[in-house]
Amino acid sequence: MELSRRICLVRLWLLLLSFLLGFSAGSALNWREQEGKEVWDYVTVREDARMFWWLYYATNPCKNFSELPLVMWLQGGPGGSSTGFGNFEEIGPLDTRLKPRNTTWLQWASLLFVDNPVGTGFSYVNTTDAYAKDLDTVASDMMVLLKSFFDCHKEFQTVPFYIFSESYGGKMAAGISLELHKAIQQGTIKCNFSGVALGDSWISPVDSVLSWGPYLYSVSLLDNKGLAEVSDIAEQVLNAVNKGFYKEATQLWGKAEMIIEKNTDGVNFYNILTKSTPDTSMESSLEFFRSPLVRLCQRHVRHLQGDALSQLMNGPIKKKLKIIPDDVSWGAQSSSVFISMEEDFMKPVIDIVDTLLELGVNVTVYNGQLDLIVDTIGQESWVQKLKWPQLSRFNQLKWKALYTNPKSSETSAFVKSYENLAFYWILKAGHMVPADQGDMALKMMRLVTQQE
């Protein structure tokens, strides 16, 4: 037993060394020759629309990749890059300094990062009318990519396939999961789809907005007057959504965020224990004051492509990948991706989650305790609106405490699970759960993928 453990450790160090040597070599050919550990490519999903994906084969020292699941990670925004932020800031093998990440999910799963919708990250469009404007288009584009991927990589057709997501990525993941289930049933895509995980997900935006005031008031970040102001604008958002005025609801959502920032002295929407850093150059421009969408885009996409990450992706990574067209810059079209989805932002997709549950698809909801933009109260609210027949039994259960360290008495999360629905409450985490609580996020992934 001890000899086996030592062999595993030696193999792990060799794998990490190969990653580091590969980067110092800087050659796409060298990387591709390293035991097939990475591949990447473009898929033309529509005319003038090309989507980029990047696959890492699992590097568990004791198991072959075929014995481990395949996880596709979808970033939020929309316009946030999975190959950039999700990869180098959250769950990939290396961080933005190209140092090994101790909590990479690659130890326990092969990782597929996809830059979607088109125009995100290294994905790009050639004409402005090729941007996706709604969830249907986003899901349809992904079906083209997944069919191409599984047709070309048949070794993954029988491997359990999970979709993990974050923020707006969760809304996209719900729609994509439903279309994928249909495609599998119709025989157009061959894969072993095993479940979807919705992390701090924009499933029912209005439920999040309605909960912002009570949440902030409960943690002493709003006084009575501030609560009244936030509650008033939240009711306006609800009224617009109920009438189907989704573009107006998006504008009111932006106004609600400005009211919160004013009353909380700039609370960070991604972690309430920190403070937002205003972009003074942006705020001084006329465009910032004229366009609520520009303000929203700056707040919810800018943080996903900070200077260090942008320099990495447009420098060493673009050089490494080589197949990237010279005139395509990582993140250059992200603002257009966000703005093109204006009428889709506030549309709820609770009905899609309901359908997934009734079809027997495994659905996991997880949320960071300190998140505001998609706070846990709002998540719990939309879950209670599910028409899933087993919801009452799910509600009767008491959550269980989870610990990242078996020897520690400190609770890291709570979980409740019944049949094909699970909910994880991740403590001391904001919106980006894997970035804030890497050990717990990894443990959760292993639980969801039935490895623990």
Quick check: is 371 catalytic? yes
More reliable by pLDDT, 1 or 237? 237
Q: pLDDT exceeding 70 applies to what percent of the chain?
A: 89
pLDDT higher than threshold 90 for residue 294: no
Quick check: is 167 catalytic? yes
Q: Band of the pLDDT at 8, cuts 50, 70, 90?
A: low
Q: Band of the pLDDT at 65, cuts 50, 70, 90?
A: very high
Quick check: is 223 catalytic? no
pLDDT higher than threshold 60 for residue 14: no
More reliable by pLDDT, 300 or 112? 112
Core vs surface per residue 37-56: b (16+ CB within 10 A) or e: bbbbebbebeeebbbbbbbb
Q: Are 179 and 144 in contact (CB under 8 A)?
A: no
Choose, from 204, 303, 431, 436, the residue flagged as catalytic.
431
Choose, from 115, 344, 371, 436, the residue flagged as catalytic.
371
Mean per-residue pLDDT of the chain? 90
pLDDT for 277 = 64
362 exposure class (CB count in 10 Å sphere: 0-12, 13-18, 19+): buried
Q: What is the DSSP string of 312-369?
A: HIIIIIHHHH--S-TT--TTTTHHHHHHHTTTTTT---HHHHHHHHHTT--EEEEEET
Least confident of 139-143, 291-295, 343-347, 388-392: 291-295
3-state SS track over 237-281 = HHHHHHCCCHHHHHHHHHHHHHHHHHHHCCECCCCCCCECCCCHH
Core vs surface per residue 130-154: b (16+ CB within 10 A) or e: bbbeebebbbbbbbbbbbbbbeebe
For the CA atoms of the chain, what is the radius of gyration? 21
Choose, from 81, 110, 148, 167, the residue flagged as catalytic.
167
Average pLDDT rounded to a whole number, residues 78-94: 97
Q: Band of the pLDDT at 324, cuts 50, 70, 90?
A: confident
pLDDT for 316 = 95
Q: Band of the pLDDT at 307, cuts 50, 70, 90?
A: confident
More reliable by pLDDT, 276 or 307? 307
CA-based nearest residue to 431, from 352, 389, 372: 372
pTM over 0.85: yes
pLDDT higher than threshold 50 for residue 243: yes
pLDDT for 10 = 45
Q: pLDDT exceeding 90 applies to what percent of the chain?
A: 81
Average pLDDT rounded to a whole number, residues 349-375: 98
Q: What structural domains does the chain harbor?
A: 36-204+347-448 (3.40.50.1820), 205-304 (no CATH)
